């Protein structure tokens, strides 16, 4: 069963907008979504557009999976990204996203309709 907060995140992913919950009391950005603030326990967590960049802290590749979708696409790159808006998140990574690199992060739906974060190399100006 999916939580109401996860359903809200999926709706925003379907709309193609990177929005996360931001505490109305202390301004802490929440990821993953939750019912109360991870910092001050306030229940006032409106959804806001947040900066879409972050820094890759660590990256790895999954070479084996029991899930047919991932098995057919192995190796699958994932990493820990420090989002510029505050939290750290596990992110699906495109090629070219190495540790310490800056990535652009988008909110997308995965193959099962769940919201996931995807990181791609930052576009050069």
Q: Among 121, 26, 37, which Cα is nearest to 79's?
A: 121
Instruction: Using the structure block, give the residue that is written with the tokens 């979708």.
Output: 69
Residue-level pLDDT at 1: 61
Residue-level pLDDT at 89: 98
Residue-level pLDDT at 70: 85
- Output the pTM of the full model: 0.91
Determine contact, residues 117/81, Cβ cutoff 8 Å. Answer: yes
Residue-level pLDDT at 2: 79
**CA torsion, points 50, 13, 66, 71, in degrees to nearest 10?**
-90
Residue-level pLDDT at 6: 92
Beta strands at 115-121 and 88-93: parallel, antiparallel or unpaired = parallel
Beta strands at 53-62 and 76-83: parallel, antiparallel or unpaired = antiparallel
Query: What are the mean pLDDT values of the chain's consecutive 10-residue runs (125 residues total)?
Result: 88 96 98 96 98 97 90 92 98 95 96 94 78
Contacts 24+ apart (CB under 8 A), 121-124: 121/94, 121/96, 121/97, 122/53
Residue-level pLDDT at 37: 98
16 exposure class (CB count in 10 Å sphere: 0-12, 13-18, 19+): exposed
Instruction: Quote the tokens at residue 68.
Output: 């047919």
Domain residue extents for the chain: 4-121
């Amino acid at each position: 069963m999916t939580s109401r907060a996860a359903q809200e995140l999926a709706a925003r992913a379907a709309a193609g907008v990177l929005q996360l919950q931001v505490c109305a009391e202390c301004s802490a950005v929440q990821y993953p979504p939750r019912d109360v603030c991870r910092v001050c326990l306030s229940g006032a967590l409106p959804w806001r557009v947040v900066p879409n960049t972050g820094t890759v802290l660590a990256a790895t590749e999954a070479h084996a999976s029991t899930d047919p979708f991932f098995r057919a696409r192995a190796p699958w790159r994932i990493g820990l990204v420090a989002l510029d808006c505050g939290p750290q998140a596990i992110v699906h990574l495109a090629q070219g996203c190495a540790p310490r690199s800056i990535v652009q992060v988008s909110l997308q739906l995965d193959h099962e309709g769940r919201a996931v974060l995807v990181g791609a190399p930052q576009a050069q100006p």
